[in-house]
Amino acid sequence: MCGIAGALRLDPSARIDSTLVERMAGAQTHRGPDEDGVYLDPHARAGFAFRRLSIIDVAHSHQPLSNEDETVWLEFNGEIYNFTELRGELIDRGHTFRTTGDSEVIVHAWEEWGAACFERLAGMFAIAIWDQRSGELILARDRFGKKPLCYAIAANRLLFASELKAIVATGAPRVIDPAALANYLLYQYVPAPQCIYAGWGKLPPGHFWRIRADGTPQTTPVRYWDIPEAPPDGGRAMSEEDALDQLDALLTRAVEKRLISDVPLGAFLSGGVDSSIVVGLMRRLGVQPLRTFSIGFPDRRYDERHHARAVAERFETEHHESVVTPDAMTVVDDLAWAYDEPFADSSAIPTLLLSRWTRQSVTVALTGDGGDELFGGYDRYRAANLAARLDWAPSALRGMVAGAGHAIPSGSAKSHSRRLHRLLTAIGEAPAARYRAWIHVFTPALLSSGLRPEWRKAMRIADATGAFDTIYNAAAGTPADRAMRLDMETYLPGDLLQKVDIASMAASLECRAPFLDHELAAFAVSLPPRLRMRKRLLRTWAERADDTGRPFLPRSILNRPKMGFGVPIGTWFRRELRETLTDALLAPGSLTLRLFDGTFVERLIADHQSGRAEHAHPLLALFMLEHWSRRWSPTLPV
C-alpha cells in the first residue's frame, strides 16, 4: 500500500519539475513510510513521486518503475492478487521481468494490452502510467473504488494524488464547491466524481482516463467495468446447493488471494457474520499466528466485543481488544487532517483508533467490508421490499400511513420506535425518494429550511437528490436489488471504503476486503432474492459443519441481529460533549453560521440535547465540517 502523486503539463509552455512532485509526495509520507522515489520525463512533460509501504517483494519493486527501455513508467497504490498468473502469461508473450512483485506486471500488461489491461487486473488499485511514446498519462482506479485517486487542474497542469492534501501542498486554489457541499450535508461524504473544491475531482471506480500532454482537447474518463445487474429471471435457475458450492469456492479463493504478504497480517473482527467468516477462513487456510483486533464501547447498544471474543475463541486467534470512550473525540482534529474532505461517518473515529492499534502488531489487516451491500445485510433493504407492497395503494391511503408514522416518537438511535418512525413516514414517497429518506443525514427539507438564502440557491439540493434517484431508478430487480446497487455505486466507495482507506493509511496499515473480490461480487448479484437477502446463503454456508463436526461459525454469531459499527455520538452530544458541540457550531465566525441561520442551528442543538428529537447525524456533519474548515481554511465562493 502506498501513496502516489504526480503532475502532467497541459500546455507546451508549462514544465514539470521535481520540486513540485516531491512536495506532493511529502504530504503523503504516512501512506508510504518505508521508501520514496521520483521520476521526471526528459522533456519535463510529466513527473511522478511515490511513497512506499513495503508489502510484497520488499527488497525490490521500487517505484516509479519502468519497462526495459524506460519508455513506459508506472506508479501504483494497491495490490494485484492475480499478478502471478499475469506474469506467467506475459513471460510467454516475450516480456522480461526484473522483479518478483505485482507492480512490474502492470507495466508489461499496458505494453501488451493497452487500456484492456485494467479488466485483467484482480485487486485494489490506483494506477498512473506515463507513456513517453504517445505523450499520454493514463490514470485508472479499481472496480469498487477501494483505492482513492483525486485530481485538480491548475496553472496549465493536471495534478493527481492518492489524497487531496498532496494537491493542497502545490498551492492550487481551494474554493468550496456548493454542489459538493450539498452532497456532504445530505449523505455525510462527497461522492465521486465530485470533490469539495470547485474544479477538483475524483476518478470514479471502474474507470480509466487518458490525458495528453500536448494541450489537445482533453478526454473524459472511460468506464471499463460496471457492477453486474441482477439477472432478468431473478436468479431462479440457481439451486441452493449449487449456490452453496460456488460460494464456498469463491469465498475461500477470495481470502486466500489476500493472504499474499511478506509482512505480518491479521484481521479486524467485529463479531458480525462477515468479519467472522473472513477470520474463520484465514484459520482454515493455515494463517499462523492469526491475530485479530476488535474495538468496543461502554454503551452496550454499540458494543460487540463479547461476540468478537466468541469468534476469537472458536478459531483460537491471538485476540486484542480495546474500548472507545467520549475522550476519543480528541482525535477529531486528526480526522480533519486525515480526511481532507469533510467526512461525517461517526465510525471513522473507532476505525482510526483501531487502525493505529492494529498497526502496532501487523502491517496488513483483512476486513469484512462489502458483505452487507453484496448479500443484503442492512435492514433498510428488507424495508425497501416491505414498503413497496403498499405502492399499489392510493396516495391518500399512503399519506395516512405516513401521518401515523409522524405520530410515533422518533426515539433515540437504535430504538424500535425510531425504526418504525423512519419506515412509516417515508411510505408516501416514490421508491427512490423513500430509500433516500432512510440514508439522508439532513433531509432535503430540513437542509433547505436552515440554509441562508444565498447558499440554498447555490447548493442546488434537487440536483444532488436527483443524481441518486437516477441510479436507483436505472437499476433492475426488486426495490432491495436497486437499493443494493445504489449503495455499491455511492455509499460503498464514497463512505465505507474511503473511511477504511484513509483511516488505515493514516496509520500506515494496509486493509484488504475479500468480499469485494469482483468474481464473488458478480456471483452475489446473480443470486435469487430468497438466497441473497439478509445474508441467507452466507448464514446457511456458515451453518455447515467443519472438520470437527461443529458449525463453521458459532450459532450465537449466526443468530444475532445486525448491530452496525457506529458510535453513540447522540448520547455524547447530550452529555459529555454537550458544551463542545455548542461552542464549535455557535462560535462567532464559524462556517456553520456562515452557511445556516443561527436560530435554526440553536434549535437543532436544543431539540437534540433536550431529547425532543434525534439530530445526532446532522449535528455530527456540522461538527466535522467545522473542524475540517479550521484545519484546511478553504475559500468560500464569492
Instruction: Compute the distance between CA of residue 244 and CA of residue 246 in angstroms, rounded to an integer.
Output: 5
The DSSP line for 32-74 is -BSEEEEEE-TTSSEEEEEEE---SSTTS--SSEE-TTS-EEE
Instruction: Compute the distance between CA of residue 436 and CA of residue 527 in angstroms, rounded to an integer.
Output: 25
Catalytic residue among 2, 117, 150, 195: 2
| Side-chain-facing half-sphere of 214: CA atoms under 13 Å | 7
Strand order in the sheet with 222-223: 65-66, 72-80, 123-131, 136-141, 207-212, 222-223
Q: Which of 60, 72, 75, 80 is CA-nearest to residue 28? A: 75
Residues in the chain: 638
9: which strand partners?
157
Three-state DSSP class for residue 321 = strand
Please indicate whether residue 2 is annotated as part of the active site: yes
76: which strand partners?
127
Instruction: Compute the distance between CA of residue 624 and CA of residue 638 in angstroms, rounded to an integer.
Output: 23
β-pair type (123-131, 150-154): unpaired
- What residue has cell string 509501504? 53
Cell of 225: 467495468
Alpha helices in 339-443 (DSSP H): 348-359, 371-374, 379-388, 395-407, 416-425, 431-439
Instruction: Compute the distance between CA of residue 561 and CA of residue 385 in angstroms, rounded to an integer.
Output: 19
| Side-chain-facing half-sphere of 529: CA atoms under 13 Å | 16
φ/ψ of 67, rounded to 5, equals -80, -175
Active-site annotation, residues = 2
